[in-house]
A = this chain, B = another copy of it.
């Protein structure tokens, strides 16, 4: 220490800042991360570990552990997400049955497990459900997850408390009978697990980019447990949720999704050893002529998607802007009460939505007791159970048709008002229910038409009397896919999830025809899916990979400062004092400042982050001697030549980003958008023949895109 002090004092002080100081490289809340920077930080860390690993066996073991931590995190996520999903399923089951009664022998048994039915307990408990929802104050949907994955910081959104509250409230909400599904919240629960486990490994906790890899995989695990569809879950995460999805993540996501699915299966909450939520088995193939009703269902799905997105967004905007938003608990209570009262009389709205979908997907076997299978049997028939010909509909089917029509209207209306309330809510199940009801109705219609009019040209070729031509359950499934596609605009993942549910390639063509039609119809009315719409509504800075930017604007049209605005706030490399910089920081709220050679030449040498400047100055003032307000700050290798009596200069080269991203002012905005998207930039500097002209931030890009799409650019709110 004494020796060091005896050496050139300024040299010692200069090197002081070369050591990292706390909080460097972190982000503030509601800010966007810089992907390139995160990536390069991870490479540094990796390089350090690799070079250290040759030093000792202990370091080598540590490097191995580091290399394996990704897989360990995935395993843990899969195990926990699967377990939680199982617990939630069991609890929902139990709570749903609690409406009917309680198992006297063991109160934690659900109705089914208890095998005990009580006719004395009434359904009055149902009305108490809303009160439980007091606990659930978290607005939740996949749009937040999607924004976080695109590189946005929302602290606490994926914390441990969120995980706990979420898990509890999800049980309450799903069992309350509201028109919502559990896949959205399960994705959130899985992401909380991912966040929790990644905080255990420094590789992930200290790098926001790496953390998002884990979260993408966790989202896949969430969908995997919601539907028992691991491949579909991974594709869903790839297509719909994730922003940054390297191939390594694909493989790990698949691993997490599989572990989660098999953990859930070994818990076996549905008691049937099935992995999938709706297991179906059909016995008849489909015929070419049936493509026509399938495509009609696709059109219906597209229209439903458009209607739902428009109405739901309008309602949510109303909630955001009027006094309604101030009473979230009251809103939940009112909606639940109305749902409960209207839903009760109709058997198809009274049962849980998953059960309803299951029943609608089901093919009518000979022994089926459901009202939907009340066909008039031919008493002379002695065919095997599986291969029942089309039969005329009985009274039950006709009653069911009316009830289904009412249920359809009810579900459509109530889902619009339910999604977006301040409770954990998923959208898949209600959307699928709407489609399944419509599909089953169309299916029964086609079936009866084919039975009564065998001689019509369209039926003559494929439907002889006594044959089993039409499977109404398949129509329900096609309808469900169409409606889900219309709302979410998923494509491949939708078909794959449906494929995993049915387990046969046989029915992929109908599903795909409906999904394609539905997407086209819905896209014709507006390109946004429900998640993007909610992201826009909330003003999150999300740069969608799917949006095409085709306008002719140039970087110069978007960059700040605009014409007439004051010049860009820049730092010079060796002529500003600490006080100058502190004033600049106080007077502006920019996230960073370009550093130029001098104000005259305007030649760019780097970029300094606001947060790091503040930290560096604070640190230097506290811990470094001789740093006063008059100290010159310099970003060059060597300190500038100063008069003899001037205070110690402050070296800040360490915090200078020497490779800021630049484009020329003539660069088409299309290319700029592409660069921001693919490289995950936070800002980009604009130059013309080497001179710094301005800066474009992600927010500027998003606002420009909003403006070009005739939207309000001020709707983009965060940095």
Which residues of chain A have a CB within 8 Å of any CB of chain B?
36, 39-40, 43, 46-47, 50, 230-231, 234, 239, 246-248, 250-251, 254-255, 258, 261-262, 275, 491-492, 495-496, 499-500, 503-505, 508-509, 512, 516, 545-546, 550-552, 555, 597, 601, 603-606, 658-660, 662-664, 666-668, 670-671, 674-675, 678-679, 687, 689-691
Contact = CB atoms under 8 A, between A and B. Distances in A.
Nearest to A690: B690
Copy total for this chain: 2
A659 B666 CA distance: 6
A50 B663 CA distance: 28
A606 B687 CA distance: 12
A605 B505 contact: no
B247 A239 contact: yes
B492 A500 contact: no
A689 B492 contact: no
A40 B671 contact: yes
A251 B505 contact: no
Contacts of A254: 491-492, 495, 512
Given A43-B670, A597-B689, A662 B662 contact: yes
B678 A43 contact: no
A2 to B, nearest CB: 34
A667 B690 CA distance: 16
Given A500-B505, A659-B667, A690-B690, A492 B250 contact: yes
A250 B496 CA distance: 13
Given A231-B499, A603-B689, 6 more contacts: A36-B671, A36-B674, A39-B674, A234-B492, A658-B667, A674-B679
Contacts of A495: 254
Nearest to A46: B550
A478 to B, nearest CB: 15
Contacts of A255: 512, 516
A673 to B, nearest CB: 10
Nearest to A680: B678
Contacts of A261: 505
A659 B671 contact: yes
Nearest to A664: B659
Contacts of A503: 503-505
B679 A496 contact: no
A602 to B, nearest CB: 8
A363 to B, nearest CB: 19
A275 B671 contact: no
Residue from A503, A504, A508 having most chain B Cβ neighbours under 10 A:
A508
A231 B496 contact: yes
Nearest to A71: B516
Contact of A668 (B509, B551, B659, B687): B659
Given A550-B47, A604-B689, A40 B247 contact: no
Given A46-B550, A250-B492, A495-B254, A230 B505 contact: yes
A702 to B, nearest CB: 19
Nearest to A551: B47
Nearest to A39: B674
Contact of A251 (B39, B43, B491, B666): B491
A243 to B, nearest CB: 12
Contacts of A500: 505
29 contacts: A39-B670, A39-B674, A40-B671, A43-B550, A43-B668, A43-B670, A47-B550, A47-B551, A50-B550, A230-B505, A231-B496, A246-B545, A247-B545, A247-B546, A250-B492, A254-B512, A275-B505, A503-B504, A503-B505, A597-B689, A603-B689, A603-B691, A604-B690, A659-B666, A662-B662, A679-B679, A687-B690, A690-B690, A690-B691
A116 to B, nearest CB: 32
Interface centre among A46, A230, A659, A690 (most CB of B within 10 A): A690
A379 to B, nearest CB: 31
Given A666-B659, A689-B604, A509 B262 contact: yes
Contacts of A40: 668, 670-671
Contacts of A678: 678-679
A495 B250 CA distance: 12
Contacts of A491: 250-251, 254
A512 B690 contact: no
Top 9 A-B pairs ranked by shortest CB distance? A690-B690, A659-B667, A658-B666, A603-B690, A603-B689, A678-B678, A251-B491, A659-B664, A605-B689
Nearest to A691: B690
A663 B659 contact: yes
A668 B37 CA distance: 11
Contacts of A504: 503
A216 to B, nearest CB: 14
A689 to B, nearest CB: 4
* Of A496, A504, A689, most B-chain CB atoms within 10 Å: A689
Nearest to A265: B505
A426 B189 CA distance: 44
Contacts of A662: 662, 664
Given A231-B496, A670-B43, A512 B258 contact: yes
A418 B408 CA distance: 62
Contacts of A250: 239, 491-492
A530 B660 CA distance: 38
Contacts of A664: 606, 658-660, 662
Contacts of A43: 550, 668, 670
Contacts of A499: 231
Nearest to A259: B509
A229 B287 CA distance: 22
A44 to B, nearest CB: 9
